[in-house]
Amino acid sequence: MLTHPQFNPIALDLTGLGLPLQVHWYGITYLVAFGLFLWLATLRTRLPWFAEEGWTRRDVEDLLFFGVVGVVVGGRLGYVLFYKPGWYAMHPLEVFAIWKGGMAFHGGMLGVAVAMAAFAWRRGRGFLAVTDLVAPCVPTGLASGRIGNFINGELWGRAADPGLPWAMVFPQSGLEIARHPSQLYQFALEGLLLFVVLWLYGRRQRPAGRVTAAFLIGYGVLRFVAEYFREPDDFLGMLALNLSMGQWLSLPMVAVGLALWVWAGRQPRAEAAA
């Protein structure tokens, strides 16, 4: 049985040199996520069908800006509305206290969808053309975020068999019991595995919406599975049918993905329609 290493969340502290600057590991993981997105999305713009549509590196940079706004606004509002609506209704100003933590992936995804729609409208592009470009580039950002969760010792897993070789004690939980390192499970599933699947699938031209649908289905299913190993939020616990909030939010994601997959399969391929 292992014990969480208790990393210092501050990667670089310059206050000792008289500079009011502390760089947190979580901030670094965000920078890594943004850098990977720029690199991977730029590679995808070079695929023949995207290149023919005139996609450029500048488009990718603008997409990143829109996406960051969508993630922050959507992620925060998602946490407020999905997880603690009553508390924030009583403390409305706390909605803006993002530095205190509290972001929800599913809310962030909805925020990004709105941001991508705004980008598509401004540039005169199809919404699904934008999301199909972006989808395979998202899982590496999710993987980076899960590493940040692990470094911070947050979002730990449920109790595990102490005999499990990688079972881990998270002192931050307040209980000295063996747990699943669920952050690493999510890093491997929603991050690396989903990235490999989408990247390989997206290397060939697909009907509009199919790559986006694959992301929605893949993330929804893998998140649903990972939630069985992740400790539910203490202020929510388990909900109806003994499912967590993360699982309930993943179900409509899978449903939309399946519907989009079927719809996309009935549309003519781009080259056939030309």
Residue-wise DSSP of 132-146: HHHGGGSHHHHHHHH
User: What is the gyration radius of the CA atoms in the chain, in angstroms?
Assistant: 20
- The SS3 of residue 262 is helix
Give the end-to-end CA distance of the chain in Å, rounded to a whole number.
Answer: 60
The single residue listed with the structure tokens 């009583």 is 90
Annotated binding residue 158: no
Contact 101, 93 (CB under 8 A): no
In angstroms, the CA 167 to CA 105 distance is 25
Contact 214, 197 (CB under 8 A): yes
- The SS3 of residue 77 is helix
Helix 245-265, helix 105-123: angle, nearest 10: 30
Sign of the Cα pseudo-torsion (20, 33, 192, 106, in order): positive
Residues making up the annotated binding site are 146
